[in-house]
A and B are shown apart, each in its own frame.
Chain A
Amino acid sequence: MKPEDLLRHPLPAVTPKLTLGCPLLDRLLHGGVPCNAITEIVAESGTGKTQLSLQLLLAAQLPTSRGGLSGASLYLHSEFPFPVRRLHQLSLVCRLELPHNPLDSIFVQPLYSADHLLDVLPRLDFLVPRLNIKLIVIDSVAALFRGEFENTGTELKRRSGIFFKVSSKLRLCARKFGLAVVVTNQVVDVMESSNSLRIGNSVSLCSSGRRVCAALGLSWANCVNTRYSVRIINTRGDSVS
């Protein structure tokens, strides 16, 4: 490949978007989750990260006229067990709109460790075009990286090295095949005493009365293109910011 080949002129066309299935959220996100980039969904447990992920897996199969990507989707999950019954329930709604069974085009791969993820990523180059995958969901990155590493300098350095490696590979894939990549992340509590680092538009957000921010720290925050936070207010409704 020559450097000349990298030049895309005129600019790439308007980015395709994947609908979230909710008109309000879609309008807030200007049409949905963008392709060619990594989108992160941050929320505390019980907010509905996995529900949203499952919804996206199904929505990706819709034709582009209905806000989908008319392709298959890949679900990499590190939180067990895989909610197959809920997915089946959701798929009954989509079934009426699709010529095939939506469950046939959802590929599921469990992840057991950070190194396992690094093993899986190189296979994407081969799998994605073959299976016509248009969406990759990793649910969740936090579960992979929060447990395995100790809180020492060298371990954390190794961890951020892996972050950049994973992110670079995902971005390369997203770009090459026009994929939408969605990752979910957990939250950590913000301590009042520590002058915590501010990443993104708000220092912290209030979710069910606690002050929280996204897990995995600064270097991971550099690895995603867009970050959405979902929170619980008064246990009645969720809000995205």
Chain B
Amino acid sequence: MEVSSLPISASQRGKLISAGYSSLSSLSSVSPSHLARDLKIPENEAVEILKVASRRSGSDKIENGSHVIMNGAQTAWDMLHEEESSICITTSCSDLDEILGGGIRSKEVTEIGGVPGIGKTQIGIQLAVNIQIPADYGGLGGKAIYIDTEGSFMVERALQIAEACAEDMLEYNSLLRKDSQSHQANIEPKAFLDNIFYFRICTYTEQIAVINYLEKFVFEHKDVKIVIIDSISFHFRQDFEDMALRTRLLSGMALKLMKLAKKFNLAVVLLNQVTTKYNEGSFQLTLALGDSWSHASTNRIILYWNGNARYAYIDKSPSMRSASSPYAVTGRGIRNSSSNCKRVKLM
């Protein structure tokens, strides 16, 4: 088949032929950037030409020129290597980290839900701080986007958690690096707050607009490593008359968030409320937004009360087994639940 039969503009056809690409088979094994260089055209134009060419040449191309058609495909082997080298975001509670396989993972959408007062926002703030732990201390050294739909984000509280985090890092420094004073980084708790991009959302239209805008924003701020939405459900629980519309809007949002996580190698954490569900004569607690929404996240963690202790339970995960672990919300943030740092109870 000849290049001249392709439905592309005459100037592009001319450039192709003059650069020596006369047959479709010669286009099958060339990468878009290579073609762009050869033809002196922008790369997106080259991608377009390759797309047209691969469509024209039909299914037989898949065998000999697969990397052009399935651009972005990876082998499972590569993915395993990538996953092993990636760093998890710690929750500051080692019991919780253990059942999560190290912490919150990048490239995944993690949904955390629980009853009011269980500590969803606290986990959100803790993650926004922990993402900034520098690589020297085993962190990611990134920035956070915090999308607040409920107005529960308290700057004083974020500062408190940041101060505790900075103290812990100093302690770690003095324990492990006694001799090398050169590593002594000056950690300012206020600097933690500078690296949290805060959006306050007041309606669901704003929520959708911000999520659409995120891709552009993250593209401009490549060091953003986590997006926290607190909570995903609040604005979608007002009387939506058209439930089909709600489902459509929500699944569109979920797709965007998954794509964002994958494309920019960042973690997306969605906090969700709980609701009661009527099932065969009894009421059960489930996460809000319905059954179709439960497909939207890669991992689902449910927070619940067990006696007087807070517990987290892995409800859904492709890689981790179901397990639960206790955790505590302390003055310093999320910590292990043990006798010496139990929640202060006012009697």
Interface residues in chain A, defined as those with a beta carbon under 8 Å from any beta carbon in chain B? 1, 3-4, 6-15, 28, 30, 34, 36-38, 153, 158, 160-162, 164-165, 168, 171-172, 174-176, 197-201, 203, 218-219, 221-222, 224-225, 227, 239-241
Contacts of B117 in A (CB 8 A): 199-201, 221, 227
A7 to B234, CA, bound (A): 19
Size category of the binding interface on chain B: 35 or more
Of chain A, the residue at the smallest CB distance from B237 is: A164
CB pair B200–A10 under 8 Å, yes or no, is no
Main SS class of interface, B: mixed
Q: Which residues of B contact A203 (CB under 8 A)?
A: 305
- Is the Cβ of A175 less than 8 Å from the Cβ of B151? yes
Quick check: B202 and A218 within 8 Å, CB to CB?
no
Which residue of the partner chain, among B199, B212, B237, B278, contacts A7 with CB atoms under 8 Å? B199
Contacts of B210 in A (CB 8 A): 3, 6
Q: Which of B193, B194, B212, B234 contacts A222 (CB 8 A)?
A: B234
Instruction: Report the separation of the CA atoms of residues A227 and B276 in the bound assembly, to the nearest whole angstrom.
Output: 21
Q: Does B171 contact A (CB under 8 A)?
A: no
The complex places the Cα of A36 from the Cα of B155 at a distance, in Å, of 12
Smallest CB-CB separation from B157: which chain A residue?
A: A30
Interface flags, B166-195, vs A, CB<8A=1, else 0:
000000000000000000000000000110
The answer on a CB contact under 8 Å between A153 and B278 is: yes
Query: Which residues on the A side are within 8 Å of B66 (C-beta)?
Result: none
B213 to chain A: which residues have CB within 8 Å?
Answer: 3-4
The answer on a CB contact under 8 Å between A198 and B305 is: yes
The 5 A-B residue pairs whose C-beta atoms are closest, nearest first, are A3-B213, A161-B239, A200-B117, A164-B238, A221-B116
CB of B303 to closest CB in A, whole Å: 11
**Most central of A15, A28, A176 by chain B CB within 10 Å:** A15
Contact for A218 among B158, B209, B274, CB less than 8 A: B274
Which of A8, A15, A164 is close to B156, meaning CB atoms less than 8 Å apart?
Answer: A15
- Check B275 against A7 for contact (C-beta < 8 Å): no
How many angstroms between the C-alpha atoms of A1 and B287 in the bound complex? Answer: 32
User: Residue B201 at the A interface, CB < 8 A?
Assistant: yes
Q: Which residues of B, 189-232, contact A by the 8 Å Cβ criterion?
A: 193-194, 196-203, 206, 209-210, 212-213, 217
Tell which of A34, A168, A174 touches B234, judged by Cβ atoms closer than 8 Å.
A168
User: Are the C-beta atoms of A8 and B199 separated by less than 8 Å?
Assistant: yes
Which residues in chain B, 318-347, are within 8 Å of chain A measured between CB atoms?
343, 345-346
7 contacts between A and B (CB under 8 A): A14-B156, A15-B155, A198-B115, A199-B115, A200-B117, A218-B275, A219-B275
Residue in B116, B202, B234, B285 whose beta carbon sits within 8 Å of that of A164 in the complex: B234
Q: Are A218 and B198 in contact (CB under 8 A)?
A: no
Q: At the interface, yes or no: B154 with Cβ under 8 Å from chain A? A: yes
| A contact patch SS | mixed
Rounded to whole angstroms, the CA-CA distance of A171 and B285 in the bound complex is 26
CA of A34 to CA of B153, assembled, Å: 12
* B116 and chain A: residue at smallest CB distance: A221
Contact, CB under 8 Å: B343 / A201? yes
B 260-291 to A, binary, CB cutoff 8 A, 1 in contact else 0: 00000000000001111010000001000000
Which of A4, A153, A165 is in CB contact (< 8 Å) with B239?
Answer: A165
A225 engages B238 (CB within 8 Å): no
Least CB distance from B134 to A in Å reads: 20
Residue on A nearest B238 in the bound complex, by CB: A164
CA distance A222 to B239 in the complex (A): 15
List the A side residues contacting B197 at CB < 8 Å. 7, 9
Across the interface, do B194 and A200 meet the contact criterion of CB distance under 8 Å? no
Q: In the complex the two chains form, what is the Cα distance from A24 to B23 in whole Å?
A: 85
- Given A3-B212, A15-B155, decide whether A172 and B343 contact each other with a Cβ distance below 8 A: no
Contacts of B276 in A (CB 8 A): 218
Tell me how far the C-beta of A147 lies from the nearest C-beta in chain B, rounded to whole angstroms: 20
CA distance A241 to B235 in the complex (A): 29
Within the complex, what minimum Cβ distance (angstroms) separates B166 from chain A?
A: 17
Tell me whether A225 and B151 are in contact in the complex, defined as CB-CB below 8 angstroms, given that A6-B199, A168-B203, A197-B115 are known contacts.
yes
Q: Which residues on the A side are within 8 Å of B274 (C-beta)? A: 218
* C-alpha spacing A172/B235, complex, angstroms: 11
CB < 8 Å: which of B115, B152, B345 contacts A37?
B152
Q: Does chain A have a CB within 8 A of B38?
A: no
Question: Which B residues are in CB contact (< 8 Å) with A200?
Answer: 116-117
